[in-house]
Amino acid sequence: MLGPLLLAAARSDRMRGLVTSMPLTRGVVDRFVAGDDLEAALGTVRELGGAGLSVTLDHLGEDTREPAQAEAARDAYLRMFAVLEEHGLAGGADASVKLSALGQALPGELALDHARDICAAAGRAGMTVTLDMEDHTTVDSTLETLGKLRSDFPWAGVAIQAMLRRSTGDLRDLAGEGSRVRLVKGAYAEPASVAYQSRREVDRAYVRGLRLLMEGDGYPMVATHDPRIIQIALALAAGRPPSSYEFQMLYGIRGAEQRRLAEAHRVRVYVPYGADWYGYFMRRLAERPANLAFFLRSFVSR
């Protein structure tokens, strides 16, 4: 029952003010967020690279309602590419981008224009870009934007949420040659009319989607911490070249497993950074009771 409540709280301005003002919250946030700015995240990128792990960097922010904020989000990514290239950390890295941060809810093609700028800069730096998927109301817009981006940047990728009932059809459309797809379970509060509700249903949908991707000609990005699904993914990948797929995990979750898996497979870690961490942080708490327990323990252990 706590999961849906936390997901609802992720969109609450009142809860945002309460949680972000708690003096003890910062230490817990640091487990899941690599820093308030890019300079703070660089150490994490170096550490992960030294352990044989690739990265996808997410400059945190979402639900932008002002053009100036959308432009600032774009500029943060442009600066990211420049700094990573300057430090020799850009090659093979990926940027995760939420279109809602770039003005997806605003009139016209502002988000598309900003995404084009981001993809162009990423390509020059030797990086790729993956569009994050947000709640179900943004799926059509996100996939439409992806299609337009891929005409100039065929390596542009997208995340698909297995929990959405429509995702099987979307995955069939996206399983073609060269298509980069990050398959996730889903981290938004969605109604039963559009999304599976039970863990068992979501797991089954994930495996169905994983099978479609592994049987296709694209590049599956298996985003999961679930040991059972990792084993299923390895079985489904039998016969595929090791360079034709990868595993992805979140910064701060199962770090030892990330390193163990990277000994034989390509593993990419999702590294979020930035001051606007609240929505991301609340979704991480909602995903697993252990994350919430870790958060609550911080208040009684100090």
Among 58, 94, 132, 276, the active-site one is 132
Residue 280 near residue 29, CB atoms below 8 Å: no
CB atoms within 10 A of CB 31: 15
169-178, Cβ contacts within 8 angstroms, sequence gap of 24 or more:
170/139, 170/143, 171/209, 171/212, 171/213, 172/212, 174/218, 175/212, 175/213, 175/215, 175/216, 175/217, 175/218, 176/216, 176/217, 176/218, 177/217, 177/218, 178/154, 178/217, 178/218, 178/219
User: What are the tokens at 120?
Assistant: 């162009």
Residue 133 near residue 159, CB atoms below 8 Å: yes
Task: Tell me if residue 132 is catalytic.
Answer: yes
Separation between Cα atoms, residue 53 and residue 6, nearest integer Å: 30
Residue 55 near residue 246, CB atoms below 8 Å: no
DSSP label of 150: H
Task: Tell me if residue 204 is catalytic.
Answer: no
Residue 87 near residue 49, CB atoms below 8 Å: no
Among 74, 116, 180, 182, the active-site one is 182
Separation between Cα atoms, residue 239 and residue 223, nearest integer Å: 20
Give the active site residues: 132, 182
